Amino acid sequence: MTLEVTSTQTQAYAGLAGAYQEAHRPQLSYSPARNWMNDPNGLVYYDGEYHLFYQYNPNDTVWGDMSWGHAVSADLLHWTELPVALEVEKDGQGAITQSFYSGSAVVDRANSSGLGSPGQVPMVIIYTSVYPEARTLANGTQVQAGQQSQSLAFSVDRGRHWTQFSGNPVLALPPHPYRDELREFRDPKVFWHAPQSKWVMVVALAHRHTILLYCSRDLIEWEYMSQFGPAGATGGVWECPDLFPLPLDGDDSNNKWVLVVNLTPGGPAGGSGAQYFLGHFDGSTFRPDAGDACVRWLDQGPDFYAAVTWNDAPDGRRLLIGWMSNWLYARTVPTSPWRSAQSVPRELSLRTVAGQVRLVQQPVQGFDSLRRDTLLAIDDVSLAAGVDTLPRLRTAGVPVDIELVLACGSATRAGVQVHANAAGDRTEIGYDCERGELYIDRGRAGAAPFSADFAACHGAPLALVDGVLRLRILVDRAAVTVFAGAGELTMTSLVFPADESDGIALFVEGGQARLRQWRVRTLASIWPAPHE
Ligand code: FRU
């Protein structure tokens, strides 16, 4: 199969791409200018700004010295990196005295915590503190050395300066015969539960595959309510939970609750993954829907972890972001002077798809404003088996947005290759019609000597409607994000292609397919200028 593609337009982008020196720096989603980042933390919208805090090592490109980095954005696309919000604490000899692990942030409008003052609304971060020495809480609870507990910090200047609460930590598990297992108690997500006028916290008991639920009137004193788990996938530690309601099929009188539980390892593509449960929350207990035994994944690719949603997003929107990496190889991916990016933020809804309630995801509203030129617009063409012959459509390193609607016909496999070169290197995003699976194959995406776990093909079941495959694929320099069907299946995968691997081609195997619609558009970088 050969498609005539005149690539005069693409040549115009060669110069533009050359301006970016850092070949693998994501152009569609956030990364800090330098050093290590992992989980998104403290997601909250306040006063025109979306806050994105994150696990950050201010001193190195590997995990350590855990601090909270900080960035803000008006549109969830363009970010301004701010100074570190909570910086690891060390003594005079350089030994760590407090590390700041994952957590959440709320805007305490009524000053329930008393941490603000009249006219000064406090933003409050609830994080997991790790102290190397034993402590005693105000209520007498003993915190062992190294035990994880929950602590507060607050800001009265829109998150620019942070003060730690003097009564930290505010929540720890009491001593217990299984103490070693109970040391790993982390990643509090706190939200305001309006029907019962109280704060609710979900927090992970990592090794027990259990989520504990607490409530509080003031963010300071926490009362145990209930627990959930083990359930679903339990192949690794449970981390970074979230709990929120979503209307089913847009009906506000019919809310369901979604409990997100990240786990590592044991994810769908090996290593880290994000699962969710659907059910009911009555203000104190989460009850999963009866008979719902299947494991549901937020993303079936290898690189979407520690996924959590924003508090207080305008218009009741539910917005999700994940760390675009995997603990299997996060420490060794070949980028510098930064390491790791967050995903493109996503808009969530709950819909009935083929008779089943599914979480449906799309790129955040407004993402399409990054679209620039249409490189390709092809409708209604029959495709015989084959791959586009060279020269292919080339993108010169500019990120692209691909929309593909393909009637699979008699083909056994069909899809698109991106980051392709003449030597056959490529990332293949395809549908295996016989297995009914969408896959991303990064087995030949570029050299991957940094990890034996990286070069692989990851697949996930996808039911086609009337034999028609619908894909939206965001192709960044070092990542591919796929939204399939209505968005009920997403797959996110890192790739590290060589500079010259910038071709895009359709492929069809085993029979004939019909291309209903194919659009390839360039996307503007989210960075105002080459990002150093
Ligand atoms: C998840 C995680 C969290 C923890 C943080 C530490 O990736 O292990 O459970 O709070 O990273 O950086």
Q: What percent of the chain has pLDDT over 70?
A: 93
Report the amino acid identity of residue 350. L
Closest ligand 1 atom to the C-alpha of 103? 10
In whole angstroms, what is the distance from residue 402 CA to residue 375 CA?
10
Q: Is the preceding omega at residue 391 within 30 degrees of 0, hence cis?
A: yes
Residue nearest to atom 9 of ligand 1 (CA): 239
40 CA distance to ligand 1 middle (Å): 10
In whole angstroms, what is the distance from residue 174 CA to residue 82 CA?
37
Residues 6+ apart with CB under 8 A from 335: 22, 24, 25, 478
88 CA distance to ligand 1 middle (Å): 15
Closest ligand 1 atom to the C-alpha of 63? 12
pLDDT at 166: 93
Q: Could you tell me the sign of the dihedral formed by the alpha carbons of 264, 270, 273, 278, in that order? A: negative
25 CA distance to ligand 1 middle (Å): 23
Q: Is the pLDDT of residue 7 over 80?
A: no
In whole angstroms, what is the distance from residue 68 CA to residue 39 CA?
10
SS3 assignment, position 315: helix
494 CA distance to ligand 1 middle (Å): 20
Mean pLDDT lowest for which of 148-157, 197-206, 455-464, 521-530?
A: 521-530
Best substitution site from 209, 240, 331 to test ligand 1's pocket, by max atoms within 8 Å of Cβ?
Answer: 240
**What's the alpha-carbon Rg for the chain, to the nearest Å?**
23
Closest ligand 1 atom to the C-alpha of 323? 7
Q: How many CB atoms lie within 10 A of CB 508?
A: 26
More confident residue, 316 or 4: 316
The model's pLDDT over 238-284, given as tens digits with 9 standing for 90+, comes to: 999 999 999 999 999 999 999 999 999 999 999 999 999 999 999 99
Phi first, then psi: give them for residue 203, nearest 5 degrees. -150, 145
56 CA distance to ligand 1 middle (Å): 11
Does the active-site annotation cover 39? yes
pLDDT at 136: 82
Residue owning tokens 């850092």: 22
Which of these, 497, 269, 505, lies nearest to 391 by C-alpha position? 505
pLDDT at 180: 65
In whole angstroms, what is the distance from residue 222 CA to residue 213 CA?
10
Best substitution site from 60, 187, 260 to test ligand 1's pocket, by max atoms within 8 Å of Cβ?
Answer: 187
Residue nearest to atom 6 of ligand 1 (CA): 101
pLDDT at 385: 82
Residue owning tokens 């019609």: 433
In whole angstroms, what is the distance from residue 242 CA to residue 12 CA?
44
Domains annotated on the chain, with CATH:
30-343 (2.115.10.20), 367-523 (2.60.120.560)
pLDDT at 160: 98
Best substitution site from 35, 36, 38 to test ligand 1's pocket, by max atoms within 8 Å of Cβ?
Answer: 38
DSSP string, 392-444: -EE-TT--EEEEEEEE-TT-SEEEEEEEE-TTS-EEEEEEETTTTEEEEEEEE
Best substitution site from 101, 208, 342 to test ligand 1's pocket, by max atoms within 8 Å of Cβ?
Answer: 101
pLDDT at 173: 87
Phi first, then psi: give them for residue 181, nearest 5 degrees. -65, -30
Q: Is the pLDDT of residue 14 over 70?
A: no
pLDDT at 21: 38
Q: What percent of the chain has pLDDT over 90?
A: 83
SS (H, E, C) 181-216: HHCCEEEEEEEEEHHHCEEEEEEEEHHHCEEEEEEE
The model's pLDDT over 148-186, given as tens digits with 9 standing for 90+, comes to: 999 999 999 999 999 999 999 999 987 665 566 778 999
Name all residues whose Cβ lies below 6 A of ligand 1: 38-39, 55, 66, 101-102, 128, 186-187, 239-240, 306
DSSP 283: S
pLDDT at 388: 63
Q: Which of 39, 65, 187, 425 is catalytic?
A: 39
Q: Could you tell me the sign of the dihedral formed by the alpha carbons of 289, 295, 296, 297, in that order? A: positive
pLDDT at 530: 55
pLDDT at 20: 37
Closest ligand 1 atom to the C-alpha of 239? 9
The model's pLDDT over 101-145, given as tens digits with 9 standing for 90+, comes to: 999 999 999 999 999 988 899 999 999 999 999 888 777 778 888
Q: Out of 14-28, 61-75, 142-156, 412-426, give the one with best mean pLDDT.
A: 61-75
In whole angstroms, what is the distance from residue 412 CA to residue 431 CA?
8
SS (H, E, C) 81-100: EEEEEECCEECCCCCEEEEE
pLDDT at 143: 86
Closest ligand 1 atom to the C-alpha of 55? 12
66 CA distance to ligand 1 middle (Å): 9
| Averaged pLDDT for residues 454-475 | 97
Mean pLDDT of the chain: 92
Residue nearest to atom 8 of ligand 1 (CA): 239
Closest ligand 1 atom to the C-alpha of 327? 7
The model's pLDDT over 295-333, given as tens digits with 9 standing for 90+, comes to: 999 999 999 999 999 999 999 999 999 999 999 999 999
| Averaged pLDDT for residues 182-196 | 95
**pTM, two decimal places:** 0.94
100 CA distance to ligand 1 middle (Å): 10
